[in-house]
Amino acid sequence: MPKINKIPTETELYVWLTRQCSMCEYAPTDIKLKVIRAGLSSSAAERIADKLIDEGYVNEERYTRAFVHDKFVLNHWGRRKIGMALAQKGIRGNHVQEELRNIDDEKYRNTLTELLQSKNKSLNVDNDQQRFQKLLAFAASRGFELNIAYDVLETMIKGTD
């Protein structure tokens, strides 16, 4: 947002947001928050967001695709955490579930395995049961499904025997 001392007009803010949306994907709720933080009303936020959606600057499905990709590949989040983060942004629906299903299962398990192996090295626990429980809790905190985390941990244990 440009540094200004006065509240921008709706047109000025719209022009600024078109430039921002050309460089980065935004959720409709992100746009509305930016408008309200700039000092305009919620009705102005609705009008600007609707106009940006109509003109293709903001697209919920495109945003969802980019968000799922980035959070999985860059942040190593699991499907549950990604889905909850999208729900907090007000994005729900079939396209969210579809994008989450599009995450490659092999890459998903490999990512979880790497995370758990890395975490395992830093754990200081007394016994294997505590280690297993802490790793399972860690996987859950990263948003991975417990059944998948359990399977990966079982495979890791068998591999070390």
Helix/strand/coil (H/E/C) assignment for every residue in 33-95: HHHHHCCCCHHHHHHHHHHHHHCCCCCHHHHHHHHHHHHHHCCCCCHHHHHHHHHHCCCCCHH
pTM for this predicted structure: 0.88
Query: In this structure, are residues 113 and 153 in contact, taking their beta carbons and an 8 Å threshold?
Result: no
CA–CA separation, 152 and 99 (whole Å): 23
Tell me the per-residue pLDDT of 88-113, one tens digit each, with 9 for 90 and over: 999 988 999 999 999 999 999 999 99
Return the amino acid letter for 89.
Answer: K
> pLDDT tens digits for 21-74?
999 999 999 999 999 999 999 999 999 999 999 999 999 999 999 999 999 999
Q: What is the pLDDT of residue 107?
A: 97
